[in-house]
Amino acid sequence: MGILNVLQAAAAVAVAARLARGRRRLPPLAAPRTPAPTATARVSVVIPARDEEARLGPCLSAALADPAVTEVIVVDDESRDGTARLAAGLGARVVAGTPPPEGWIGKQWAVQQGIEAAGNEVVVTLDADARPSPGLFGALAAALEEYDLVSVGPRFVCEGVAEQALHASFLTTLVYRFGPIGPSAPPAPHRAVANGQCLAFRRTAMLDADGFARVRGNMADDVALARILAAGGWAVGFLDGGGLLEVDMHDSAGGVWREWGRSLSLRDVTGPGWQAADLGVVWLAQALPVLRLVTGRPTRLDLGLLTVRFLLAGALRGSYTRPGPGVLLSPLLDPVAALRLTQATLRPVRHWRGRTYPASTTDVRPGRARTETPSGGAGGTAVGAVTDAGSAGSAGTAGAEPGRVTGGPRSATAGTGTSRGRVTTNEWPSRPGRNAGR
């Protein structure tokens, strides 16, 4: 047996172990059967928006209509269109965002401003392309009785065979690397994932932890946030919310390639060892069987992996609002998805919505030494940069047992959040008390 086949067999075992977690998934997020107590149900929705006039309306209308929501804040991130005018006209509270300080990516800075402006303890952040259904916000508020940070996986709106096929192939790379959504046992912090299209947390705890300040320079800010908070002992939940949330992310296969592809590798939150391991799994277990089938030389292991892949394609139909033939045809594009993942890993993109960002100095990988390097921010605001002073994370931690991590500092956490993102300590954020802010 050649070395390539040995490596492929190892990748197949890793994928099988991850897919097996799907048998013990948590139930999907559901609207509460009975109304939550008023204090618990009062939700502030924060929507960071930059040039979102064309997509913001449905998200905003649904949030404003939900009885659990008492305020909707749209942070207008220096939009060049009518985003602010539309939001105000629909009844949202519009916060005029200021330019991002040095070291901040625009979305994180907009979210930070929205959290500081929020009047309720329960905060839900939404992307402008999200389409919440009635009951989502009450369900998220209820989930915060068990978790400190909650994100949900939506159903995706994908039109056209090519767009749907490419999207489903990209989605499969996440499943092969991290397993299905809603695992019953949380992963180790360095493998935690989240979906920044919809996050829920308690305002006081997040400001005390300076959560968004700590991930201010990460393009994959959602995963960075989940990992840094999980490392501090926060209970982080990633739940199936497809019954309560839809997301219309892209308008074509080209949009999927450009926009989702840029962050698919999670390069700025993953150590080199895990990057190599993840790429190996995708190429060996997802792409190689298709390439060998096309050339007429599949092995029995290839055929077995292809069978698993097509079965997964059938299961992924539930992740789309209107699943068509593109989902079932998605395995044929797996080599293309592996190529895009490799490209994003080797040549990361750090520009978005007309802004270009320097390489991040924020290291969110758990168990690493951290130092603080202040840099001048806009308007004289001091923005600390947490820099890496340790060795690169590697796949040698693969044996870490999944579960809720409660290690790490549980002492005083950084700031109060009112310093507009100032990081005042190099401690990891500790888990908030279960009654914090209630």
pLDDT tens sequence across 248-275? 988 899 999 988 888 899 998 999 999 9
End-to-end C-alpha distance for the chain, whole angstroms: 60
pLDDT at res. 75: 98
- Mean pLDDT, residues 230-259 taken together: 94
3-state helix, strand, coil split of the chain in percent (to 5) is 45, 15, 40
Considering only the C-alpha atoms of the chain, give the largest distance between any 2 of them, rounded to a whole number of Å. Answer: 67
Residue 17 in this model has a pLDDT that exceeds 70? yes
Highest mean pLDDT among 156-160, 203-207, 403-407: 203-207
> For 264-324, where are the alpha helices, taking DSSP H only?
272-281, 288-294, 300-316
239 in Cβ contact with 182 (< 8 Å) = yes
Mean pLDDT confidence for 394-399 = 33
Helix (H) or strand (E) holding 375: strand 370-376
27-47 tens-digit pLDDT = 999 988 766 554 456 999 999
* Local structure of residue 262 (DSSP, 8 states): T
Determine the pLDDT at residue 376.
Answer: 33
- What lies within 8 Å, CB to CB, of 60 at 6+ separation is 47, 72, 74, 86, 87, 90, 92
**For residue 151, pLDDT beyond 70:** yes
Q: Is the pLDDT of residue 99 over 80?
A: yes
In this structure, what token pair is assigned to residue 47? 């929507």
Task: Name the band, by pLDDT with cuts 50, 70 and 90, for residue 224.
Answer: very high
Task: Determine contact, residues 383/377, Cβ cutoff 8 Å.
Answer: yes
- Report the C-alpha gap between 202 and 124 in whole angstroms: 9
342 token code pair? 């490799």
Predicted pLDDT at 22: 87
What is d(CA 211, CA 219) in angstroms, rounded to the nearest whole number? 15
In angstroms, rounded to a whole number, what is the distance separating the alpha carbons of residues 402 and 143? 21
* Contact (CB, 8 A) for 18 and 47: no
pLDDT at 386 over 60: no
What is the Cα–Cα distance from 126 to 384, expressed in whole angstroms? Answer: 26
Q: How far apart are CA 378 and CA 109, in angstroms?
A: 12
Once rounded to an integer, what is the mean pLDDT over residues 209-236? 96
Domains, the chain, ordered by start: 1-431 (3.90.550.10)
Cβ neighbourhood burial of 162 (10 Å; 0-12, 13-18, 19+): middle
Mean of per-residue pLDDT scores for the chain: 84
Residue 103 in tokens: 């070291």
* Res. 363 pLDDT band, cuts 50 70 90: low
Give the percent of the chain with pLDDT over 90. 71
Distance CA 32, CA 267 (A): 37
C-alpha 308 chain-centroid distance: 26
Q: What is the pLDDT of residue 435?
A: 45
Q: Collapsing DSSP states into helix, strand and coil, what is residue 345?
A: helix
Report the pLDDT averaged over residues 6-24: 95
The Cα–Cα gap between 64 and 41 comes to: 14
Three-class secondary structure of residue 401 per DSSP: coil
When mean pLDDT is compared across 264-268, 288-292, 354-358, the lowest value belongs to: 354-358
Burial call 165-200: b when 16+ CB within 10 Å, e when fewer: bbbbbbbbbbbbbbbbbbbeebbbbbbbbbbbbbbb
Q: CA–CA separation, 96 vs 43, rounded Å?
A: 21
Mean pLDDT throughout 72-91?
96
pLDDT band (50, 70, 90) for residue 415: very low
pLDDT class of 327 with cuts at 50, 70, 90: very high
Pair type for strands 245-247 and 130-132: antiparallel
Mean pLDDT, to the nearest integer, of 311-324?
96
CB 125 within 8 A of CB 198: yes
Residue 390: per-residue pLDDT? 30
Are the CB atoms for 229 and 223 separated by under 8 Å?
no
Element (H, E) at 73: strand 69-76
| Among the ranges given (269-273, 286-290, 305-309), the one the predictor scored with the smallest mean pLDDT | 269-273
Cα 127 from Cα 196, distance rounded (Å) = 8
Helix or strand (DSSP H, E) at 255: helix 253-255
Confidence of residue 429 (pLDDT cuts 50, 70, 90): low
**128: which DSSP letter?**
T
